[in-house]
Amino acid sequence: MSTYRVAEPARPAVERATRYAVGRRLWPPADVDLEALTARHAAQLLRAIDAVCGTATPEDLPFEDYALLDELGAGLADWLCAHGAPAAGRPAA
């Protein structure tokens, strides 16, 4: 099974976004290995990123984090589609 590795520069932003999502109950906590995300965990992380980027204020989510998360989200979505997984939030056909 193929896995996705989250790049080092994005990891602090992912950790802050995850804490934000859990703290505001936007998304349940998920213990994921950022070195080797499975398709399931990648989809969960993508949904959490979408929830945070869609609701966080600039005070809670600095632009630099938003930009890193946006780029990571796009990469995760592309990777998921390339591996036959439905895009986050879309039912399987």
Does 58 map to a domain? yes
The per-residue pLDDT string of the chain (93 residues; one tens digit each, 9 = 90 and over) reads 689 999 999 999 999 988 888 888 877 766 788 999 999 889 889 988 998 999 999 999 999 999 999 999 999 999 999 887 655 444 444
Does 93 map to a domain? no
Q: What pTM, to 2 d.p., does this model score? A: 0.81
How would DSSP label each residue in 28-66? ------TTSB-HHHHHHHHHHHHHHHHH--TTTS-HHHH
Contact 72, 51 (CB under 8 A): no
How would DSSP label each residue in 69-86? HHHHHHHHHHHHHHTTPP
pLDDT of residue 65: 94
Does 2 map to a domain? no
The total number of structural domains in the chain stands at: 1
Does 88 map to a domain? no
Does 49 map to a domain? yes
User: Rg of the chain over CA atoms, in angstroms?
Assistant: 13
pLDDT of residue 35: 92
**Residue ranges making up the domain that contains 33:** 8-82
